[in-house]
Amino acid sequence: MQTTEAILLRKTRFSETSLIVSWFTRDSGRLKTVVKGALRPKSRFAGVLDLFFDCDISIARSAKSDLHTLREADLRDARAGLRTDHRRVALASYFVELVELTTEPEHPAPELHDLLRRAFNFLDQNPAEPRALLHFEGELARMLGIAHPELTPIVAIGRVYHRIPSSRAACLKQ
């Protein structure tokens, strides 16, 4: 069993009572877990599994696939302020898309985990602004080693990864 700090990125229904949850962990990078019984009324995971939540998780690694089993999740920070405004949620979702685009599954990237945590903490306390988006993109490009003095960070990201998330335009209009 492995225990690590994790940020919940996505959740998808797997069955009537189970979820597949994508995490960005400090120690193992992006990974997916199946959460058996998560949708049952008396689930031990009730109130702990929501987007952008910061948790300490324990997983049982699968030897056969990249889908592991979540054994425990302890909520560290729910970031309730982030959910007070749809613009904050949209910007946080854009940050998730960028992290998913620029990272490989199960490849540790603690500096990117810390960047995402700081960005979510900022959005928890402050309104979503284009300045926050530009700062995140700049830091991400710098940490990835693709920043270029003659290119904006998003152009550098687009050139290396061959696309940028389409949600960016909506986040800039806010």
Residue type, 119: A
Which of 2, 37, 41 has its CA nearest to residue 21?
37
- Do 105 and 25 touch, CB atoms closer than 8 A? no
Q: Angle at the Cα of 154 (from 149 to 157), degrees rounded to 5?
A: 90
Please give the helix or strand (H or E) that residue 40 lies within, else none: none
For 32-84, how does the pLDDT look when each residue is reduced to its tens digit (9 = 90+)? Answer: 999 999 999 899 998 899 999 999 999 999 989 999 999 999 999 999 999 99
For 112-170, how does the pLDDT look when each residue is reduced to its tens digit (9 = 90+)? Answer: 999 999 999 999 999 999 999 999 999 999 999 999 999 999 999 999 999 999 999 99
Q: What is the largest CA-CA distance in the chain?
A: 55
- Do 53 and 78 touch, CB atoms closer than 8 A? yes
Q: What is 2-77's CATH number, 3.40.50.720, 3.40.50.300, 2.40.50.140, 3.40.109.10?
A: 2.40.50.140
| Beta pairing, strands 29-35 & 67-77 | parallel
The ranges of the chain annotated as CATH 2.40.50.140 are: 2-77
The pLDDT confidence band at residue 173, using thresholds 50, 70 and 90, is confident
Confidence (pTM): 0.94
Output the DSSP codes for 82-142: GGG-HHHHHHHHHHHHHHHHH--BT---HHHHHHHHHHHHHHHHS---HHHHHHHHHHHHH
